[in-house]
Structure formats: C-alpha cells, structure tokens
A = this chain, B = another copy of it.
Amino acid sequence: MATKPGLPSLLTLRPFPFIPSFQEKFSNQFTTIKRSDLSVPLNEFLEKECQSVKALIGGGRTAITKEILNCLPSLGCIVLTCTGLDHIDLDECKKRSVAVCNAGTVFSEDVADFAIGLLIDVLRRMSSADRFVRAGVWPIKGEFPLGSKLSGKRVGIVGLGSIGSEVAKRLKAFHCTISYTSRNKKPSVPFSYYTNVVDLAFNNDVLILTFELNRETFHIINKDVMTALGEKGVIINVGRGALIDEKEMVRCLVQGEIGGAGLDVFENEPHVPEELFGLDNVVLAPHKAVLTHESFSDLHELVISNLEAFFSNKPFLSVVKYD
C-alpha cells in the first residue's frame, strides 16, 4: 500500500484496527504497510518494502524473532495488541533499543471480574441453576441443592501481577482471606505469601490462576497440588490452559477428588474435554475472560496513543521495562 505523504508509516503484522469505528481516526494519523500478497515470504517482503519502517503493530500470534528484527533495521518501536510477551525476543529488542509496548493493564479488570464471576458461579452453582430452571424442572423437582458461601473463603492467588492484584481487591470486598504465590514475595502486599503452590493449595479453599504460561509454570497445577487442595477445593483458571495438567484435573473432577472448577482456558482450545460437559460442579467458558466491548475499545485508544507518543517523542503509555 502506498504511504500517504506527511503521515508516519507503520508496518501492520496483524490487521488493525479491529473495530471499524476506529478506522477513520487511525488512518487520519498513520499510513500502513502490510503484506497483501501472502505468497511472498515474510523476510522477502520485509527486506523489500520495510527498510525504513520505524514502528510496527503486532499481535499475540506473530512471533517477533531475531530474524524478523534483522530485516527491519530502522525499527524503533513495536506496539502489541496483546499483554503476553512470550512470542517476542525481548533480548534482541533491548540490544537494538527497540521499545516494546503491550496492552498493559487494559484487560486486567475484565479478567479479574470474570474470575470472580466464575468463582461465584462454581460455589453458588449458578450456571447449573440456570440449566435447572430452563429445563422447566423446578416445579417438578422442587428444591435445588444449596451452594457454598463465598464470603469468608480462603483464596490463594497463583501469580499476583496486575490481574491477580485486581482479583485480590475484589475478594477483599467479599471478606475472603487472601494469600498468594508468585516468583518473589511482594514486600508491599499484606497477604500471606507461600513459596510454592502445593502449600498454597493446602492452606486454601480456592485457587485462582492468573500466572502467565512459560516453561516454569507449565502444568504447575499437577496431581500433588490438587491432592493438597482437597475434595472441597475449587480451581479457577483465567491464565492459560496448560498451567493445569488438564487430564489429571478432569480425573480429579470426575472422581470427586477436588470440589469444582471454573475454566475459561484449556490446553487444546477450542477443544474442551468432553468428560466435563456432564458435570454440574464446573463452569466452562470459551476463552472470554480477557475482554469486553469496552476494553477492546480501550485497547484501540492505547495502541494509537502509544504510536502517537513514539512519533512525537513523548513517553509511552504502556512500555515494557527491560531488566
């Protein structure tokens, strides 16, 4: 695509904006370069058309590798539409002084709200109650079983980053007792810290997973953790599916070795283990904790603001800090 004279040009490795109403605002400020012909290899396209590109927009599915960075010698800034950074070679970015902006905390409130919703739903059997009423069996079967109280529960947060902190804020209003595990103890946090997730599970009624997924956190919720959590224990996962050994969790749920689960993420999405479909102590969601209409709109504002900041040499709104 030809660049408009006078407007800064961007490489868009994923289409942007996603929301049509932002199109005008965006194209009034920037001109975009994109690989229209997907038969041309990415490297070739970058080397041919992007030698002067100073900024790019990337998403969660396009890895930014050393090879890609090698093809973009003028790059100064990567603006991501996602929060996760595991697909970005941050060492190489740092070495080249390429700034990386991510979605920051735009989604944290939504994810935290959803986590609390899943927790209330599992404890109070809300989706199950909704099925009961919709099936028309209330007048026939009468009483629906009692649920368990949220207020006063001991809740362990696995990963106390921006999402985990928002979860904790909300849980305090429900009079829950909060503790956490995290890579390191956070000095400014008043909650009990556990160095490992087995101890956290043993001392809590609920685990809420907000960790990012990496080599250390893969299957961090394993059989030992579930045994420690116990037969009344509840797991809420709004992190990533592979934080849990899913096969083992399904077995624990089916056999009553843990009490319930609220799951927004799964190991092999969009495939969900069918053994879960018949269980009333689980609530299942199709990876939707992360965003709403409102936060999606906020993301667009943030991406545009970060690009404006870059091209006018002002401070970024959500830049990744290098160690």
Interface residues of A (CB under 8 A from B): 109-110, 113-114, 116-118, 120-121, 123-127, 129-134, 136, 138-139, 142, 144, 146-152, 169-170, 172-175, 269-272, 274, 277, 283-286, 288, 291-296
Additional 17 contacts, C-beta under 8 A, given A117-B117, A118-B126, A138-B272 = A109-B175, A113-B149, A121-B127, A123-B292, A126-B126, A126-B127, A126-B283, A129-B285, A130-B285, A131-B131, A132-B286, A136-B277, A138-B271, A139-B271, A149-B292, A170-B173, A173-B173
- Contact present for B109 and A296 (CB under 8 Å): no
A109 contacts which chain B residues (CB < 8 A)?
A: 149, 151-152, 174-175
Kindly report which residue of chain B lies nearest to residue A168, judged by CB atoms.
B173
- Contact present for B149 and A272 (CB under 8 Å): no
A285 contacts which chain B residues (CB < 8 A)?
A: 126, 129-130, 133
- Contact present for A286 and B146 (CB under 8 Å): no
Residue in contact with A120 in the complex, picked from B117, B132, B138, B150, CB distance below 8 Å = B117
A121 contacts which chain B residues (CB < 8 A)?
A: 117, 121, 126-127, 130
A110 contacts which chain B residues (CB < 8 A)?
A: 149, 151
A295 contacts which chain B residues (CB < 8 A)?
A: 149
- Contact present for A292 and B134 (CB under 8 Å): no
A284 contacts which chain B residues (CB < 8 A)?
A: 129-130, 133-134
A270 contacts which chain B residues (CB < 8 A)?
A: 138-139, 142
Bound complex: CA of A114 vs CA of B116, how far in Å? 11
List 27 A–B pairs whose Cβ atoms lie within 8 Å, in order of A's numbering.
Answer: A109-B151, A109-B174, A109-B175, A110-B151, A113-B120, A113-B150, A113-B174, A117-B121, A123-B292, A124-B292, A126-B283, A129-B284, A129-B285, A129-B286, A130-B284, A133-B277, A134-B284, A136-B277, A138-B271, A138-B272, A139-B270, A139-B271, A144-B286, A146-B288, A146-B291, A146-B292, A148-B294
